[in-house]
Structure 1
Amino acid sequence: MKSVCIFCGSSFGTDPAYEAAAKATAKALVDAGLTVVYGGAKVGLMGVVADTALAAGGKVIGVMPDALKEKEIHHQGLSELYVVKSMHERKALMAEKSDGFIALPGGAGTLEELFEIWTWGQLGFHAKPLGFLNVNGFYDGLLRFLDHATGQGFMKPDMRQIAQAASTPEELLRLFASYKPPETAKWISKSET
């Protein structure tokens, strides 16, 4: 593993623990020698991740759609910034440049990004680990729902296990190190994509 993508909010949320977790995650990735890949903004938790990783001497790659470049106030001090045409291109490039994915607290965009990556894993488009950093129980309700959906037969247990959860970035990285994708992934041949 050489790089990890962080999905997170462009705001700070109401609990100071979220900002602290963003800092801890960026620092843990840099300490592990990993490149940080994220959405390219300098605001909210996104900015905290980039600023912390850069201050610790890490490499940070941002990917931002042109339409959001000014709205999300792109970070001008990144190691690399890719400006793309659409959100679809953003997610595809972030996935291409990343070997794992972490969702910090965030809103609909954060969830959408991680859920799409998770779906790609279920379909066999990649075999990379992903998980929720469950800061102060932020994702407890969602994790219960995912277990409920599994219990109701809408998700196979091995597909549910693709999305891991931990309360610290170090614990999540340990889970990533031992991650093995499910053998039942719906592998799609190149000719079908």
Structure 2
Amino acid sequence: MELSDCCIALPGGPGTLEEISEAVSWARVGENDSPCIFYNVNGYYDLAAQFFDQMVSEGFLTQEDRAKIFFIDTLDAIEKVMNGYQPPIVRKYAK
């Protein structure tokens, strides 16, 4: 992951979902600086996007972190995200 330009999930099964979820989690703790993209072909990941939105509503994910998880349905849009991506700011905890 450390040498990747992005972490992208094409439509797939549980293994694909596990891998992109891990990339998202690692981004939140500063271990992944690459954008996390769900290639949303024909709305395949629409329910996953709703699930992440629900995480925000329930307080399990910040809106700032949610904004760095991309659900994109065209290759051109993926390229634009990759070219302008800024990694999320990692939370700091008081000692």
- Asked if Structure 1 and Structure 2 have the same fold, meaning a TM-score greater than 0.5 normalized by the shorter chain, the answer is yes
Does residue 122 of the first structure (1) align with residue 34 of the second (2)? no
Runs (4+) off by over 2 Å = none
The alignment's C-alpha RMSD in Å is: 1.3
Deviation at 1:186, TM superposition (A): 3.1
| Matched letter for residue 29 of structure 2 | L
1:134 aligned partner: 40
Matches of 1:163 and 1:186 in 2, distance apart? 17
Which has the larger share of strand?
Answer: 1
1:145 aligned partner: 51
Deviation at 1:98, TM superposition (A): 1.1
Alignment length, in residue pairs?
Answer: 92
Within the candidate set 77, 82, 101, 2:7 is matched to 101
Unaligned 5+ runs, structure 2: none
Unaligned 5+ runs, structure 1: 1-94, 188-193
| 8 Å Cα contact 1:146/1:160 also seen in 2 | yes
Larger Rg: 1 or 2? Answer: 1
TM-score computed with the length of structure 1 as normaliser:
0.45
1:7 aligned partner: none
Identity within the alignment, %: 37
TM-score computed with the length of structure 2 as normaliser:
0.88
1:111 aligned partner: 17
Matches of 1:108 and 1:162 in 2, distance apart? 22
Matches of 1:123 and 1:167 in 2, distance apart? 27
Which of 1 and 2 has higher RCO (CA within 8 Å, sep 6+)?
Answer: 2
2:91 aligned partner: 186
| Matched letter for residue 164 of structure 1 | F
